[in-house]
Amino acid sequence: MHGEKHFRHELKYAIPYGDYLAMRARLKMIMTPDPHTVTDGKYKIRSIYFDNSDDKASAAKKRTARKPLTAKTRKTAL
C-alpha cells in the first residue's frame, strides 16, 4: 500500500431547524466557548466534523499529514 493516495470522503446533509436547535443545546452542555469569537460571542460555523470515541479519523489525518518541504542543495563545479 506504500505510495497509494487516500482521500477523505465527506457526506453533507441539511438538517431541519428543530434538529439544529436540539443539537446546539446538547453541544452547549459539553463544549466551552471559543475565545476567538467576536464581541457578541458568535461566529458562523460552516462545518462540524465528528470522529469516533477513539479519535481514529483525527489520528489517521495526523499520520498522513504532509511533511514540511525541505530545500535540497548540491554543489556544482563552475
With respect to residue 13, please indicate whether it lies within any of the assigned structural domains.
Answer: yes
How much helix, strand and coil, in percent to the nearest 5, is found in the chain?
30, 0, 70
With respect to residue 38, please indicate whether it lies within any of the assigned structural domains.
Answer: no
The grid coordinates of residue 35 equal 475565545
- 52 or 25, which is more confident: 25
Cα(36)–Cα(12) distance, integer angstroms: 26
With respect to residue 3, please indicate whether it lies within any of the assigned structural domains.
Answer: yes
Does this model's pTM top 0.85?
no
With respect to residue 5, please indicate whether it lies within any of the assigned structural domains.
Answer: yes
The range of the structural domain enclosing residue 24 comes to 1-33
With respect to residue 25, please indicate whether it lies within any of the assigned structural domains.
Answer: yes
With respect to residue 60, please indicate whether it lies within any of the assigned structural domains.
Answer: no
pLDDT per residue as tens digits for the range 23-47: 989 988 998 877 777 777 777 777 7
Contact 6, 64 (CB under 8 A): yes
| Residue 37, number of CB atoms within 10 A of its CB | 10
Check residue 36 and give its pLDDT.
73
What total number of domains does the chain contain? 1
